[in-house]
Amino acid sequence: MGMHRIRKILEQKEGLRLEFKLASTEFLPDNLFESICAMLNREGGDIFLGVKDDGTLSGIRPEYIDRITSDLVNLSNNPSKLDPPFILHPKVYEFEGKSILHIAVPQSSEVHKCGKNIYDRGHQGDYKVTQLSHIALLYNRKRNYYSEAIIYPALTLSDFKPELFTIARNLSGIIMPTIHGWVSVMNNY
C-alpha cells in the first residue's frame, strides 16, 4: 500500500470497512479482535493501529511493533480467541515519522466468533449478535455468497476441465509456494 493511499484512507471517517485504533502500549487494543471478527463476518475492511478515531496519527512506539505484530498473528490463529482461526498478515508502515500497523481483513466465507460471541459490523462499530434469528441471517448471507460448503452429489470429476486444476495449482504455488499442500498433488483423474 502506497503512502498516497494511506493518506487518503486516514482522511476518511471510520465506518463499515474502516477502523482506527490506538496502540499506546505493547499490548493489543482490548477490542481489536471484536473488530476483526465483525469485519470477517461482514464485508471485510482495513484496521489501522496507531491511529486515533478521528484519523490523527498517534503512532506505535518502535519497541512495541514486534510484540504487537507477533501477538496479532498468534492470536488470529488461536481458536479460543478467533473461531474458526483466520491468520492475518499485518504490515508496518512509517508514515509522517510514525509507525502504524495496517491489518487488511477480508470478508470470510465462514461465520467467526471472538471468544464465544459472534460479532457483525455496522456503520457505527461492532455489534454482538445474540438473537438466534440474526445469527441465522448471518449464516444465510454467507451461504448465498459462497458455494464452497455446498455438496453437489451428482457432480463428478469429468464435469470439470482438467486444465483448470493445473492453472489453480500453479496460482496457489505462486501465492504460497512453500506452504500450500496442493502444489505437489498430481492430477489423478
pLDDT at 182: 61
Q: Rounded to an integer, what distance in angstroms lies between the CA atom of residue 130 and that of residue 140?
A: 16
Q: What is the DSSP string of 131-186?
A: -HHHHHHHHHHHHHH--TT---TT--GGGS-HHHHHHHHHHHHHHSTTT-GGGGPP
Which residue is associated with the grid cell 509456494?
Answer: 177
pLDDT of the residue at 187: 59
Angle (nearest 5°) at CA 14 between 53 and 91: 80
Reading the block at residue 136, the C-alpha cell is: 441465522
Length of the chain: 189
Please give the chain's pLDDT, 189 residues, in tens: 788 888 899 999 999 999 999 999 999 999 999 999 999 999 999 999 999 999 999 999 999 999 999 999 999 999 999 999 999 999 999 988 999 999 999 999 999 999 999 999 998 899 999 999 999 999 998 887 777 767 788 888 888 888 888 887 777 777 666 655 666 666 565
Q: What is the pTM of this model?
A: 0.79
Three-class DSSP labels, 57-113: ECCECHHHHHHHHHHHHHHHCCCCCEECCCCCCCEEEEECCEEEEEEEECCCCCCCE
Q: Which of 125, 130, 101 is nearest to 53 (CA)?
A: 125
Helices 62-76 and 32-41: crossing angle in degrees, nearest 10, is 50
Cα angle 12, 26, 124 (rounded to 5 degrees) comes to 30
Instruction: Report domain extents, the chain.
Output: 3-145, 152-189
Give, in words, the CATH class of 3-145.
alpha beta
